[in-house]
Amino acid sequence: MTIAPSKLSDPTVAAFVTAVNAHDRDAFLKLLTPDATMSDDGSDRDLQEWIDKEIFDSGGHMDVQKESAGGRHLVVNYRNDTWGEMRTAWHFEVADGGRISRFETGQA
Protein backbone atom coordinates (compact mmCIF):
# COMPACT_ATOMS: atom_id res chain seq x y z
CA MET A 1 0.00 0.00 0.00
CA THR A 2 1.41 3.36 -1.03
CA ILE A 3 1.35 6.31 1.38
CA ALA A 4 0.41 9.58 -0.32
CA PRO A 5 2.96 12.37 0.28
CA SER A 6 0.22 14.47 1.92
CA LYS A 7 -0.19 11.72 4.56
CA LEU A 8 3.48 11.61 5.58
CA SER A 9 4.23 12.69 9.14
CA ASP A 10 7.13 15.07 8.47
CA PRO A 11 6.08 18.05 6.33
CA THR A 12 9.59 18.64 4.96
CA VAL A 13 9.96 15.01 3.88
CA ALA A 14 6.46 15.16 2.39
CA ALA A 15 7.50 18.22 0.37
CA PHE A 16 10.67 16.38 -0.76
CA VAL A 17 8.63 13.43 -2.08
CA THR A 18 6.16 15.81 -3.73
CA ALA A 19 8.97 17.73 -5.46
CA VAL A 20 10.62 14.52 -6.71
CA ASN A 21 7.35 13.16 -8.08
CA ALA A 22 6.47 16.49 -9.72
CA HIS A 23 9.99 16.71 -11.23
CA ASP A 24 10.20 20.18 -9.69
CA ARG A 25 13.92 20.82 -9.28
CA ASP A 26 13.46 24.37 -7.95
CA ALA A 27 11.05 23.26 -5.21
CA PHE A 28 13.39 20.37 -4.39
CA LEU A 29 16.45 22.62 -4.03
CA LYS A 30 14.55 25.05 -1.78
CA LEU A 31 14.06 22.20 0.69
CA LEU A 32 17.81 21.73 1.18
CA THR A 33 20.20 23.66 3.37
CA PRO A 34 22.99 25.41 1.40
CA ASP A 35 25.51 22.84 2.66
CA ALA A 36 23.29 19.77 2.30
CA THR A 37 24.95 16.40 1.72
CA MET A 38 23.75 12.97 0.64
CA SER A 39 24.86 9.39 0.28
CA ASP A 40 23.78 6.50 -1.93
CA ASP A 41 24.42 2.92 -0.76
CA GLY A 42 26.77 4.19 1.95
CA SER A 43 28.97 6.38 -0.27
CA ASP A 44 28.81 10.15 -0.15
CA ARG A 45 28.02 11.59 -3.57
CA ASP A 46 28.09 15.00 -5.21
CA LEU A 47 24.58 16.23 -4.45
CA GLN A 48 23.94 18.25 -7.62
CA GLU A 49 25.35 15.57 -9.90
CA TRP A 50 23.39 12.80 -8.17
CA ILE A 51 20.01 14.54 -8.14
CA ASP A 52 20.34 15.41 -11.83
CA LYS A 53 21.33 11.87 -12.82
CA GLU A 54 19.10 9.86 -10.45
CA ILE A 55 16.03 12.12 -10.15
CA PHE A 56 15.56 14.96 -12.61
CA ASP A 57 17.20 13.74 -15.82
CA SER A 58 15.80 10.22 -15.42
CA GLY A 59 12.18 10.79 -14.33
CA GLY A 60 12.64 9.69 -10.72
CA HIS A 61 9.49 8.76 -8.78
CA MET A 62 8.93 7.75 -5.13
CA ASP A 63 6.09 5.47 -4.00
CA VAL A 64 6.34 5.47 -0.20
CA GLN A 65 5.55 2.08 1.36
CA LYS A 66 6.41 2.70 5.04
CA GLU A 67 7.55 5.49 7.30
CA SER A 68 9.13 5.53 10.74
CA ALA A 69 11.07 7.88 13.03
CA GLY A 70 8.38 10.57 12.75
CA GLY A 71 8.39 10.37 8.98
CA ARG A 72 12.14 10.83 8.56
CA HIS A 73 12.83 7.22 7.58
CA LEU A 74 11.03 5.88 4.54
CA VAL A 75 10.86 2.64 2.63
CA VAL A 76 10.15 3.53 -0.98
CA ASN A 77 9.58 1.79 -4.27
CA TYR A 78 11.76 4.13 -6.30
CA ARG A 79 11.88 4.13 -10.06
CA ASN A 80 13.63 6.04 -12.78
CA ASP A 81 14.33 5.60 -16.47
CA THR A 82 17.91 4.45 -15.79
CA TRP A 83 17.46 1.68 -13.20
CA GLY A 84 13.77 0.77 -13.38
CA GLU A 85 12.11 0.11 -10.00
CA MET A 86 13.86 -0.85 -6.78
CA ARG A 87 12.99 -0.98 -3.09
CA THR A 88 15.00 1.70 -1.31
CA ALA A 89 15.41 3.13 2.18
CA TRP A 90 15.64 6.89 2.71
CA HIS A 91 16.79 8.67 5.87
CA PHE A 92 16.48 12.42 6.31
CA GLU A 93 18.14 14.88 8.68
CA VAL A 94 16.02 18.00 8.96
CA ALA A 95 17.70 21.10 10.37
CA ASP A 96 16.11 23.89 12.37
CA GLY A 97 14.02 25.90 9.96
CA GLY A 98 12.63 22.78 8.31
CA ARG A 99 15.23 22.24 5.60
CA ILE A 100 17.02 18.97 4.84
CA SER A 101 20.71 19.02 5.75
CA ARG A 102 21.36 15.42 4.69
CA PHE A 103 19.61 12.52 3.10
CA GLU A 104 20.78 8.97 2.64
CA THR A 105 19.36 6.39 0.30
CA GLY A 106 20.18 2.85 -0.69
CA GLN A 107 18.76 -0.56 -1.36
CA ALA A 108 16.26 -1.67 1.28
* Section 19-45 average pLDDT: 97
Going by the DSSP 8-state scheme, the letter that residue 46 receives in this structure is -
Residue 97 Ramachandran class (φ > 0 left, ψ -120 to 50 alpha, else beta): left
∠ at Cα 74 (3, 22), nearest 5°?
60
User: Tens digits of per-residue pLDDT, 54-106?
Assistant: 999 999 999 999 999 999 999 999 999 999 999 999 999 999 999 999 999 99
Model-level pTM?
Answer: 0.96
Q: Quick one: average pLDDT of 8-35?
A: 98
Q: How far apart are CA 16 and CA 32, in angstroms?
A: 9
The pLDDT of residue 78 is 97
What pLDDT, on the 0 to 100 scale, is given for residue 5?
96
Classify domain 5-107 at the CATH class level: alpha beta
Q: Which pLDDT does position 101 carry in this prediction?
A: 98
Q: What is the pLDDT of residue 95?
A: 96
